[in-house]
Structure 1
Amino acid sequence: MKYLVLVAIAMLTGCATTTTPISAENAQKLTGESLVTAKRESPDFVAMTSTKGMFALVGAFTAISAGNELVESNNIEDPAADRCVDEFSTELFRL
């Protein structure tokens, strides 16, 4: 029972989202400054199946290859890449 409680506590901690507003003083320092964004290559997508999992390292390479092919053939974009930049720049310039 003791271990179950510890596992439950471990699973439930660290699941909070916080926002820290910029102080007025720091916002004033940003006046007239520019924002430069960069887009990096998306990480590999691993399409792991039980069949690929049986083959350890070779299966991992096969899963990465299959995942990347799936992403490319279906034109799947990384939703975080543009969304994070857009939201951050909008919030920053709203000050």
Structure 2
Amino acid sequence: MTTFLDMLRSITPETYATFKTAVELGKWPDGRKLTQEQKETCLQAMIAWEQENLPEEERTGYMPPQHCKSEEKTIPNILFSTGSDTLH
């Protein structure tokens, strides 16, 4: 393998699952602790693999569209109300 892209193309779903579990737990399946560099490399590989193989909503870090709670409420416009007790 000569490049990161070549390495990504060789990742199988099983390898991806191993990387994901290792990052989540901070250790390899045999119990050895991941170094910071290994965590970063595994996470980069996971994200790149997911980009090519998973729908957006299943990818690491995906957040569904969110709406502000204030958008759910109808807020009366009291500044320009025609009620007699408000200022214009």
TM-score with structure 2 setting the length: 0.29
Between 1 and 2, higher relative CO (CA 8 Å, sep ≥ 6) is seen in 1
TM-score with structure 1 setting the length: 0.27
Higher helix proportion? 1
The structure having more radius of gyration, on CA atoms, is 2
